[in-house]
Chain A
Amino acid sequence: MLAGKTCVVCGFGDVGKGSAESLRVQGAKVVVTEIDPICALQAAMQGYEVNTLENMIGKADVFITTTGNKDIIGADDMKRMKHQAIVGNIGHFDNEIDMAGLAAIDGIERRTIKPQVDEWVFPDGHSVIVLSEGRLLNLGNATGHPSFVMSASFTNQVMAQIELFGKNDDYERQVYVLPKHLDEKVARLHLDAVDAKLTELSSEQAAYIGVPVEGPYKPSHYRY
């Protein structure tokens, strides 16, 4: 049960924001760690405690890494956690948590509770529970994102495949971001399913803010 537990979310980017919220709505006390003052301020102003991993290491019950960086939780950190603290990663890759370092601790024992749930018992008898060997816990311990969310993402993928395959020679050897009008098309395709009625911009309003009536409505750097 997460209610009442102290959960540390390392990172407050897109992934951390979602993780923190999903823990909070289940009644957990969420503490955020951040290196970016902007994201730290966002977290604090949403009511989260912002603290360092070092300060929280012996206090929290659950540790979730969401950073996309490496070396977030070390083997020594896990050694100092509470008995049966849960450690998991939902960031980019399995190097956020030092699994190799954990496995290399002299006298440590790995007990598999069930697939993708391992209890690592330290020589002094206390343990931590590591999810999916430090790989993505949302896919290893659950079944990933809901269909509706993935529909938006995958619709973009298919449109990008059509564009790149059909207009092969129009693209240089570089990275492109799908144009915003296609993102807007994807969102539009999903409105009916949630019974959302869109308001239409008048031509006067469109001219006032300098966008076409049919979009795109935001500059490319806009963060939603």
Chain B
Amino acid sequence: MSTTVPLTDDYKVSYISLAEYGRNEIRLAEHEMPGLMSLRKEFGESKPLTGARITGSLHMTIQTAVLIETLVDLGADVRWASCNIFSTQDHAAAAVVVGRTGTESQPAGVPVYAWKGETLEEYWWCTEKVVCWPDGGGPNMILDDGGDATMLVHKGAEYEKAGAVPDPAGAESEEFQVFLGLLQRSSLTVSTSWLKPTTCSSLRSTSMTLSRRASSTTSTAAATRWSTASTVRLT
């Protein structure tokens, strides 16, 4: 089953018209990000990430835009959400959707689901959107800051295996209540299976921080292998 959804219908940002402002700032940031730019030079031709389907859950800022476009230049298929309801820079999100060759009406970048000031419901909806590819598959890689995308995949698989999602009313916090509500709804839709091979058996993840939440996710993990890469901690 292969469904192609045009990018025009596969993103949600606050104002796509902010793309030009975002592109200008991305251009300035590229000059300040020599590490990423040298990876583009080193691996831009060999494209070692060809075949990688990367779900990103990481503050959708100008700097992250340069990261995303580096992953794309290395061959990856990328979907992105922010990992915080307030951290998105709306012009960065718009520019990543439009991409380097697209226009506001014909975007040619990456599906981004992020805007500054999401509600918790919107936040988890965005996270689900970037974990589920339009062709029905999932990611084979996650780039996660805080562990939310990883938690969604693992809890989804765990509850699907168990045959039921716990009652959100019994959740320990408002956010977990929203999270369980999302999984309850997604378990009702045939298109979402958290147990699909791409979302389970070969999934790999890199993480900005080795947080308590990330560690506990790992301990209950079905089949995720982790790498942390944090010389500079993103707070």
Interface residues of A (CB under 8 A from B): 14-15, 66, 68, 90-93, 95, 100, 115-116, 132-133, 135-136, 138-140, 143-166, 168, 171-178, 183, 186-187, 189-190, 192-193
Among B34, B64, B224, contact of A190 (Cβ-Cβ < 8 Å) = B34
Contact B35 A190 (CB under 8 A): yes
Among B39, B43, B174, B204, contact of A168 (Cβ-Cβ < 8 Å) = B204
B233 at the interface (CB under 8 A from A): yes
**Cβ–Cβ < 8 Å partners of A133 in chain B:** 86
Report the Cα distance A150→B70, complex, angstroms.
13
Q: Which residue of chain B lies nearest to A131 when distances are taken between CB atoms in the complex?
A: B86
The residue in A133, A144, A150, A152 that gathers the most chain B C-beta atoms within 10 A of its C-beta is: A150
Among B52, B204, B234, contact of A145 (Cβ-Cβ < 8 Å) = B234
Contact A92 B36 (CB under 8 A): no
> Could you say which of B99-107, B157-165, B208-216 contacts chain A?
B208-216
List 16 A-B pairs, Cβ < 8 Å.
A92-B209, A144-B59, A145-B63, A147-B32, A151-B36, A154-B33, A156-B230, A158-B39, A159-B39, A159-B229, A160-B206, A161-B71, A173-B221, A174-B225, A178-B230, A189-B38
Report the Cα distance A174→B85, complex, angstroms.
29
* A-B interface pairs (CB < 8 A), number: 190
Which bracket fits the contact residues of B?
A: 35 or more
Contact B63 A171 (CB under 8 A): no
Contact B76 A143 (CB under 8 A): no
**Cβ–Cβ < 8 Å partners of B71 in chain A:** 158, 161
B153 at the interface (CB under 8 A from A): no
Beyond A154-B35, A176-B228, 17 additional contacts (C-beta under 8 Å) are A95-B173, A115-B117, A136-B84, A139-B59, A139-B87, A150-B63, A151-B33, A151-B63, A156-B231, A161-B206, A165-B52, A165-B204, A171-B204, A171-B225, A174-B225, A177-B227, A193-B34
Dominant SS among interface residues on chain A: helix
Lowest 10 A-B CB distances belong to which pairs?
A: A155-B35, A151-B33, A140-B86, A139-B87, A147-B32, A156-B229, A150-B63, A153-B232, A160-B229, A160-B206
Contact B84 A143 (CB under 8 A): no
Whole-angstrom distance between the Cβ of A163 and the nearest chain B Cβ: 7
Contact A147 B86 (CB under 8 A): no
B125 at the interface (CB under 8 A from A): no
Report the Cα distance A153→B62, complex, angstroms.
14
Report the Cα distance A175→B212, complex, angstroms.
13
**Cβ–Cβ < 8 Å partners of B191 in chain A:** none
Whole-angstrom distance between the Cβ of B197 and the nearest chain A Cβ: 13
Contact A147 B38 (CB under 8 A): no
Whole-angstrom distance between the Cβ of A219 and the nearest chain B Cβ: 15
**Cβ–Cβ < 8 Å partners of B36 in chain A:** 151, 154-155, 158
